[in-house]
Amino acid sequence: MIFHSLFFDKKLGLPGFRSQRMGVLAELSFALFCILAGIVGILWILIYFILPEWEINQKFESTTCTMKDFRIVENRIFPDAQNPMEAEKNTLFGEGESDESEEEEDDLEEVFPSENEGEAGSEKPLPMVEGILKQIGNVSYQPEIFVAYQVEGRDYESWAYSMKSVLDKQRFENQKDAQEFIEKWQEDGCHGWFDPEKPENIVIFKSWTFENYLSLLIPISFFFIGCGMLYPLRRFARWDSEEFSAMFFGPDARRVRKKMLDSKSWVDVQSEDVLSCLPLSAEITNCSGIRMNYRLPVLDSPVRALFVLMSVALIWNALTILLLTIIVCGSTPGVRNWIWFVYVVPFALVGLGLVFYAFRQIRAATVVGPTLVEIDRYPLRPGESTMLFVSQRGRAKIFWFNVMLVCEEEVVFTHGTNTRCEVQRVFQRLIYGEDGVEMPSNGAFEVEFPLEIPPNIMHTFVSLRNQIYWKIIVQVSVEGSRPFERSFPILIYPKTYDVKEAV
Amino acid sequence: MNPVISIQIDSVQKYFRPGQTLSGTYAFVDVSQEKMDHAELSVLWFTEGKGDEDMGVHFFESIPWGEVKKRNFAPGGAFNVVLPMAPLSYYGKVLKIHWEVRVRLFLKDGSSFGESKQFTLGDVPPVYVVLN
């Protein structure tokens, strides 16, 4: 069988490109753009928003200031065309002394020109831009105070508010709010925070802005999307396929890298018994049992499922209540509100359903009680046997109780833009079964029995997107609850072969 | 004319046991010496089935063209690889694991040609679903 370039052609590359090379190049460019945008975004947010704010909160030292003067600065998103510098930062008014607060209020109306007056003679923005600016607020107001303070006996004077890079959220929509900020600052004791390394840098306002950290999610998403797009493209690299997989992607990558680092010969490397396609047994053997040597961890624990279910129910209902509150308190009167109410009804019903289902699951979990499975020895290999101990706690009567040995194949595949997972059960054997179990007085049904691993079976196998795993499944039907099952993973190693034995 | 690659595994046994040595030879036919860059030999497993493909390289060797020996009838080489303990060859319902020897030939113009020869590691029988 001869094939050109690629062993397994997959539908990769943009479909609009006839040339696969061009398609890959386009995808690569887009992936690199995403990664670059992500990195630039992360750095920009860190340098201009998070770090300055962190510095103010952590590094700056507190002091008490004296107000010498103040002003309110007008900031326009769309500066006046005739005098853009003036328009961008337009000082509206200032006062010589801080104790003349009554006069300040009187002056407010005189000094503030109406917005229309301020824009007289200036070139107006396009109607569409004007509409957008009206929505988001073209003008904002920033109070600045001329403060005097002392650091280590030396006097300093400076105009202060907050750091420029963290200002945007701390501006005010109208002059009155800015004025109130100054008054409140005076009432609170005229606190300021200065940089101990450069005492002339002082701020009179500091805060933690949660949105800065939240906004990091956007560039981080870009970064990971770009990295994710690079992964399927690896097969088109010059050093693709075996060499590349061997070094970076294959399950044996660690072994191959070790070989390269240590300059070992391949014979030495092969002699190392590294079973990289098998999961580490530490997760199973790190918990000692009471009756047997090892207690098996439980898969799909009900606690985790309940937590997720409760969280979903809580968030869903909180959003529904929020939506209802907005509708009820909304300013739009009349018939349209009723339409919104009808719209919310399905959401409310789903929310109630979630709450009902969550409480039902909690009740089922508390009625049934925990299940413990312990195993006598590890590792297990085909054809070997060991002892198993199973304990089921709870108050309710058990109708039937089954323990099964199960093997499943799990594959992950991409279908279009979706990633799907399929599980196929290929082996299932009942290893213990009992009907009409009477619960002992101590509330724990306990049973011990041998577990025989069939010969000539596949061992546990784990790779990036494909798995073969073995597990013990305990199925219980109890009074007052629907039958349930709990899974406990076990590792089955490959059987040992006698190499000298003739095949 | 495209180069032809042939791979021969020495043993004719039905399957190999883990730890056993896999040995064989490979040869390149219809090869123009001037166009050749290098060859690659690998022994690897890969998955097949409904899921996306995974691959694990057990042995990899990049051979500069100058080191490719002139064998009986064509340039080529030999390999001796000790097979690992896992994963064993597997023929399941939605997942199969195959082992193979791959030889790839890279030309100076950037194109490449490949040939593979599958073999079975271990004696796990094909899966028939047992649910009882």
Chain B residues within an 8 Å CB radius of A494: 18, 85-88, 122
> Residue B129 and residue A494: Cβ atoms within 8 Å?
no
- Give me the sign of the Cα torsion angle A33, A38, A43, A45: positive
Six-digit token string for A15: 């479909």
pLDDT band at A98 (very low <50, low <70, confident <90, very high): very low
Q: Which helix (H) or strand (E) holds A473?
A: strand A466-478
Is residue A205 pLDDT above 70, yes or no? yes
Q: What is the mean pLDDT of chain A?
A: 73
Q: Is the peptide bond before A279 cis (omega within 30 degrees of 0)?
A: no
- Overall average pLDDT of the A45-63 stretch: 85
Question: For residue A82, what pLDDT is reported?
Answer: 41
Chain A residues within an 8 Å CB radius of B88: 458-459, 494
Q: Which of A236, A270, A423, A496 to mutate to test the interface with B (most CBs of B within 10 A)?
A: A270
Chain A nearest-CA residue for B16 = A503
Q: From the list A243, A252, A456, which residue is nearest B56 (CB)?
A: A252
Question: For residue B28, what pLDDT is reported?
Answer: 86
Print burial letters for A414-444: b (CB count within 10 Å at least 16), e (below 16).
eeeeeeeeeebebbeeebbeeeebebeeeee
Question: For residue A425, what pLDDT is reported?
Answer: 92
**Amino acid residing at B122:** G
B90 in contact with A, Cβ within 8 Å: yes
3 state DSSP class of B121 = strand
- Percent of chain A at pLDDT > 70 equals 67
> Residue B56 and residue A256: Cβ atoms within 8 Å?
no
Chain B residues within an 8 Å CB radius of A461: 86-87, 90, 97
pLDDT band at B89 (very low <50, low <70, confident <90, very high): very high
Is residue A122 pLDDT above 80, yes or no? no
> Residue B50 and residue A422: Cβ atoms within 8 Å?
yes
Question: For residue A404, what pLDDT is reported?
Answer: 94
Lowest mean pLDDT among A96-110, A240-254, A464-478: A96-110
Chain B residues within an 8 Å CB radius of A246: 42, 57, 60
Question: For residue B118, what pLDDT is reported?
Answer: 92
Residue B118's closest CA among B81, B89, B79, B83? B89
Is residue B120 pLDDT above 90, yes or no? yes
- Overall average pLDDT of the A227-239 stretch: 65
Q: What is the mean pLDDT of chain B?
A: 84
**Separation between Cα atoms, residue A97 and residue A95, nearest integer Å:** 6
Neighbours of A484 (CB within 10 A): 16
Environment class of A211 (CB within 10 Å of its CB; exposed 0-12, middle 13-18, buried 19+): exposed
- Overall average pLDDT of the A269-291 stretch: 63
Residues facing residue A149 across a β-bridge: A156
Reduced to 3 DSSP states, what percent helix, strand and coil does chain B have, rounded to the nearest 5? 5, 60, 40
Residues of B (63-82) whose Cβ lies below 8 Å from A: 81-82
Question: For residue A38, what pLDDT is reported?
Answer: 94
C-alpha distance from A487 to closest chain B C-alpha (Å): 17
Residues facing residue B74 across a β-bridge: none
Q: From the list A2, A251, A270, which residue is nearest B4 (CB)?
A: A2
Chains A–B, number of C-beta pairs less than 8 Å apart: 173
- Overall average pLDDT of the B113-125 stretch: 90
B91 in contact with A, Cβ within 8 Å: no
**Could you tell me which residue, A462 or A21, shows the higher pLDDT?**
A462
> Residue B60 and residue A242: Cβ atoms within 8 Å?
yes
CA angle B73, B79, B82 (to 5 degrees): 160
- Overall average pLDDT of the A465-469 stretch: 90
Tens-place pLDDT, residues A406-452: 999 999 887 766 788 899 999 999 999 888 877 777 778 889 999 99
Question: For residue A290, what pLDDT is reported?
Answer: 83
Chain A nearest-CA residue for B86 = A275
Lowest mean pLDDT among A133-147, A469-483, A486-500, B44-58: A133-147
Residue B44: which residues within 8 A CB-CB, separation 6 or more? A242, A245, A250, B55, B56, B57, B58, B59, B60, B99, B100, B102
pLDDT band at A241 (very low <50, low <70, confident <90, very high): low
3 state DSSP class of A317 = helix
Question: For residue B19, what pLDDT is reported?
Answer: 85
Question: For residue A396, what pLDDT is reported?
Answer: 76
**Separation between Cα atoms, residue A373 and residue A449, nearest integer Å:** 11
- Percent of chain B at pLDDT > 70 equals 92
B16 in contact with A, Cβ within 8 Å: yes
Question: For residue B36, what pLDDT is reported?
Answer: 81
C-alpha distance from B103 to closest chain A C-alpha (Å): 10
Chain B residues within an 8 Å CB radius of A252: 56-58
C-alpha distance from A281 to closest chain B C-alpha (Å): 15
Give Rg (Cα) of chain A: 35
Q: From the list A1, A427, A458, which residue is nearest B115 (CB)?
A: A1
Distances (CA, A) of A297 to A376, A379, A493: 14, 15, 18
Residue A444's closest CA among A386, A401, A486, A484? A401
> Residue A463 and residue B54: Cβ atoms within 8 Å?
yes
**Phi and psi (nearest 5°) for A58?**
-100, -35
Tens-place pLDDT, residues B33-84: 778 888 888 998 899 998 888 888 888 888 887 777 665 567 788 888 888 8
> Residue B61 and residue A413: Cβ atoms within 8 Å?
no
ipTM of this complex prediction, to 2 decimal places: 0.89
C-alpha distance from A499 to closest chain B C-alpha (Å): 6
Is residue A484 pLDDT above 50, yes or no? yes
C-alpha distance from A460 to closest chain B C-alpha (Å): 9
- Overall average pLDDT of the A7-30 stretch: 60
> Residue A494 and residue B122: Cβ atoms within 8 Å?
yes
What one-character-per-residue DSSP string does A204-242 give? S-----HHHHHHTHHHHHHHHHHHHHHHHHGGGSTT-HH
Contact A373, A402 (CB under 8 A): no
**Could you tell me which residue, A205 or B82, shows the higher pLDDT?**
B82
Is residue B16 pLDDT above 70, yes or no? yes
Chain B residues within an 8 Å CB radius of A424: 92-95
**Phi and psi (nearest 5°) for A298?**
-95, 135
- Overall average pLDDT of the B23-36 stretch: 83
B118 in contact with A, Cβ within 8 Å: no
